[in-house]
Structure formats: structure tokens, C-alpha cells
Amino acid sequence: MFWGGFKVQGKDQQAGERLLKEARLLEENGAAAVVLECVPDELAKIISRALSIPTIGIGAGKHCDGQVLVYHDLLQYGVDRLPKFAKGYGDFNTTAVDALASYIKEVKNNTFPDADHSFFDQR
């Protein structure tokens, strides 16, 4: 029922029927939602329509009731490659390195902190 990794689940009809059956069992046993990870778009659509509880997709296409994208992937933070289903919305690695390099340079050059970033005695 719980598989891991970036391996596509439900690729053939038998595996898809098994996922649908298990999702229904989860619902029948009181689950509040089901997470569909690395599931083909059309299968996620079928499962989402078959359940009355929400489906949350991560690499399961647009037909789920909600979406998850790990912020490390979203920001490309600490990752050197993204899973196929992830979309990077920024490159934090480059931004962070550039920001840290600028800070170090300004401290070494004695340009930070400057008057705008210092407190002065008002006596």
C-alpha cells in the first residue's frame, strides 16, 4: 500500500486497479485524504473521481484535489537535479551563494556594516 521512491506507480491496468482498490479501502477505513505520488495523470483522475475524500498529488498530474511540491525542489535548494514531476520556481542555490559571497566581500572590505545599518549614540 505504501511504496516509495520516484518510481511510477500504476503503470499497467492491473497495478492501476490495485491502487484504486487500495485507495477505496483507505477511504472506507476512515482516511481523511489520500496522497498519490508518481501516478499517471489519467489514473490519478480516475482515483480522484472515485473517492469522496481529497486526493493530494505529487507527480500525479492536475486532476488531484490538491498538489504538493517539496520546497527543496520548488526552490532548487540543496538539490542538484529535480525529479521529472518537480518544477523549480527559483534557484536558491545560486542566489544563496551569491548573497553569501557579497556579504563576505563587504565585511572584508569594511563596507558592511555601514551607517545605514549601525546605531549611533544620540547623546
Q: What is residue 80's predicted lDDT score, i.e. its pLDDT?
A: 82
| Residues facing 58 on adjacent strands | 37
Which of 42, 3, 41 is closest to 22 using CA atoms? Answer: 3
Q: Determine the average pLDDT of the residues in 77-89.
A: 87
Average pLDDT over residues 114-118: 90
Q: What share of the chain is helix, strand, coil (3-state, %, to 5)?
A: 40, 10, 50
Q: Which of 57, 42, 48, 33 is CA-nearest to residue 12?
A: 42
Q: What tens digit of pLDDT does each residue of 9-42 get?
A: 999 999 999 999 999 999 999 999 999 999 999 9
List the one residue out of 42, 49, 41, 50 whose CA is nearest residue 21. 50
For the whole model, what pTM was predicted? 0.76
Instruction: Report the chain's mean pLDDT, rounded to a whole number.
Output: 92
CA dist 61 and 59 (Å) reads 6
Q: How many residues can be counted in the chain?
A: 123
Higher pLDDT, 72 or 27: 27
The closest of 69, 73, 70 to 82, measured between CA atoms, is 73
pLDDT at 3 over 70: no
Does residue 53 contact residue 34 with C-beta atoms inside 8 Å? Answer: yes
Mean pLDDT, to the nearest integer, of 94-106? 93
Report the catalytic residues: 37
What three-state secondary structure class fits 40? coil
